[in-house]
Structure 1
């Protein structure tokens, strides 16, 4: 029982250390949480996607991904284009948005919200590096009998984080009742996504050279 708990906590801590950071996916979940738009479907999608990737990584798929440089390069290019588009879109909102009504329900449709969530999840090479490769390597080092405990811990951390991020965002409602706060958030989102896109482009250029 003690070994099971240790492996569970190892998985939880390892996963939390990797996903709790300022990234494109987290910023998107935060913004949708602040707007109260499709929060539950988005949180469920992120949690389920991470669960699939974690299970795949611990199961050995990480070794395949690491040995497929062409796949990684194509994924990186796709992520660069996707992040650039969303970054520019966020920065354009700085000049056209005067006020955002929280809970107004006049933003993304459910289909577009899920499509954007899928893009931030699967077109980001860092997701595969962190979730599949790194967590997969840590999980694979666990004894075979304890790998399910490690996997459960890692998935629990992911689900807990996205739930807190999506539904906890409403705590910031007083702050984001002001247009200036939304402009500041959009500026952070836009600049962060463009910076991430730039880092991906540099990676492709370095690998290609």
Structure 2
């Protein structure tokens, strides 16, 4: 996907996310559909993480591409704002507080990705070993399924 197209797509998503929060907060049906869609998404990605944990991959930094700072920022915002949990949690706040929730989510996500970048340098020697990836993928799978089960409890009381 060309960077210009991806950039425009991410901008479109970001510009309309607040509207989606408002719509979800007004519709129980859409909130339920979003919750169950998020559950399916999390279970699927958890399954893929467990499947990946059975593989034999390792880190090879030479295989990695480079992104511009602008694309990194846009990608970070997209990952934050495309998270179904984000919308479900934001809809629980009074309208006057949603901006603060949004700002906090974006800030936390940015700090998280900065930490990942720093951690990548520190932990890259460890992740040259396939066992490290297996452990990480298993932990990711458990985390995703734990969140999915948590979201299931929420979806049942909607």
User: Which TM-score band applies after superposition, normalised by the shorter structure?
Assistant: 0.5 to 0.7
Q: CA separation in 2, counterparts of 1:131 and 1:84?
A: 22
Alignment of 1:161-180 (within 5 A): 161=111, 163-171=113-121, 172-180=123-131
Match of 1:88, SS state, is helix
Q: 1:45-104, CA deviations, whole angstroms, 9 ceiling, x for partnerless residues?
A: 9x96896477x37xxx745432211111101111111111110111112222x2313335
1:78 matched residue in structure 2:
37
Structure 2 unmatched ranges of 5 or more: 65-76
Deviation at 1:122, TM superposition (A): 2.8
TM-score, with structure 1 as normaliser? 0.50
Moved over 3 A (4+): 47-54, 61-64, 117-121, 129-137, 150-156
1:103 to 36, 39, 61: 61
Aligned length: 139
2:82 matched residue in structure 1:
122
Alignment of 1:1-209 (within 5 A): 52=15, 56=18, 62-96=21-55, 98-103=56-61, 105=63, 121-122=81-82, 124=84, 126-130=85-89, 134=93, 137-138=96-97, 154=104, 157=107, 160-161=110-111, 163-171=113-121, 172-207=123-158
- Residues 51/159 of structure 1: CA separation in 2 closer, same or farther (3 Å cut): farther
TM-score, with structure 2 as normaliser? 0.63
